[in-house]
Amino acid sequence: MINLQSDHVKKRIFSGIQPTGNLHLGNYLGAIKNWVNLQNHISSIFSIVDLHAITVPQEPLKLKSSTHEVTAAIIASGIDINKSILFNQSSVKEHSELAWILNCVCRIGWLNRMTQFKEKAGKHKENATVGLYGYPVLMASDILLYKSTHVPVGDDQKQHIELVRDIASSFNNMFTPQNEPDFFTLPEPQIIGEATRVMSLRDGTKKMSKSDPSDASRVNLTDTKEEISNKIKKAKTDPFPLPDTLDELKNRPEAYNLLSIYSSLSDQTLEKALTEFSGKGFSHFKPKLIELAVETLNPISCEMRNLLKNTNEIDKILKDGELKAREIAEPVLKDVKKLVGFVN
């Protein structure tokens, strides 16, 4: 008889964000804003996934300042550390330890199907790190270490969550003792909101990205009012007024993107936002979008700057999150080790 310590949870969410470069509107609308809503309803754990960041080369000093920046952005956006657990991944060593065990459950064939690895590794697959290849296994470890039931993620992470489910059920088959309930619950992806995929302001068919060489392609959370205003003014459009129907809108990537941003910032459906502007030109729509974007983002960037004045305070917040995360993670990893048959 194996005596297990970890609880079975009803509902818990886990999500992560990488500490790389400046956060932008896509990160805010696609991830952080949803987290802020979720934390009021469900036990929530959010991690700044620095172990994931180093799957591609990072400059050490830059990694550190980005970790501070992302933490500040998350708090400035409304994550309440009395409701949610917020910590940086590498501070909880259990993530790496579980990842190793899951490496020995996950099959090479499963990883070979991952489209994100193919995209990120590009033509130089032989030169990619083993870490980049195993990235989704570390993600599985993040999620399963807390027996999370729901994972809010962008569209591009859906395949990774499918893999996490495969790894979890494989672990269950291999190690759950007979007549016991499955050790890991299979987590569900939660793809939320109209603007989960915010596109570039210069090209409505490309995702808004930190790595785009053109800064005008994105609104950064640290941009000033003037920068936000100028970027939206210059954002690519087409010469037509906004259409009457969603179908027509969907054929116009730039119009679709800007209106999605508007609807997401104003917490209304895309349909409702469209009725407000259909038949109107961009010269009417853009100033409204600018007003709304500045109104939402300016308080966040002010608060961020404030928090970043004292990085010791940020370190304390992360430390506190680390301790809370480990309270949950430790018993789960202990159980895993028992199930696998390690003597401890």
Residues contributing to the site for ligand TRP (CB under 6 A):
14-16, 18, 49, 52, 139, 142-143, 151, 153-154, 157
Catalytic choice (83, 120, 206, 236): 120
Contact 142, 47 (CB under 8 A): yes
Q: Is 53 left (phi over 0), alpha (psi -120 to 50) or beta?
A: alpha
Catalytic choice (64, 83, 210, 338): 210
Nearest approach, Cβ of 22 to ligand TRP (angstroms)?
Answer: 15
Between 32 and 151, name the residue whose CB sits nearer to ligand TRP.
151
Q: Which residue is nearest to ligand TRP (CB)?
A: 16
Between 114 and 294, name the residue whose CB sits nearer to ligand TRP.
114
Contact 50, 90 (CB under 8 A): yes
Residue 207 designated active-site: yes
Nearest approach, Cβ of 316 to ligand TRP (angstroms)?
Answer: 24
Nearest approach, Cβ of 96 to ligand TRP (angstroms)?
Answer: 13
Nearest approach, Cβ of 157 to ligand TRP (angstroms)?
Answer: 5
Residue 83 designated active-site: no
**What is the maximal distance between C-alpha atoms in the chain?**
71
Between 89 and 264, name the residue whose CB sits nearer to ligand TRP.
89
HEC string of the chain? Answer: CCCCCCCCCCCEEEEEECCCCCCEHHHHHHHHHHHHHHCCCCEEEEEECHHHHCCCCCCHHHHHHHHHHHHHHHHHCCCCCCCEEEEEHHHCCHHHHHHHHHHCCCCHHHHHCCHHHHHHHCCCHHHCCHHHHHHHHHHHHHHHCCCCCEEECCHHHHHHHHHHHHHHHHHHHHHCCCCCCCCCCCCEEECCCCCCCCECCCCCCCECCCCCCCHHHCCECCCCHHHHHHHHHHCCCCCCCCCCCHHHHHCCHHHHHHHHHHHHHCCCCHHHHHHHHCCCCHHHHHHHHHHHHHHHHHHHHHHHHHHHCCHHHHHHHHHHHHHHHHHHHHHHHHHHHHHHCCCC
Catalytic choice (83, 206, 207, 337): 207
Between 88 and 157, name the residue whose CB sits nearer to ligand TRP.
157
Residue 231 designated active-site: no
Nearest approach, Cβ of 187 to ligand TRP (angstroms)?
Answer: 9
Between 30 and 243, name the residue whose CB sits nearer to ligand TRP.
30
Between 162 and 303, name the residue whose CB sits nearer to ligand TRP.
162
Nearest approach, Cβ of 228 to ligand TRP (angstroms)?
Answer: 24
Q: Active-site residue numbers?
A: 120, 207, 210
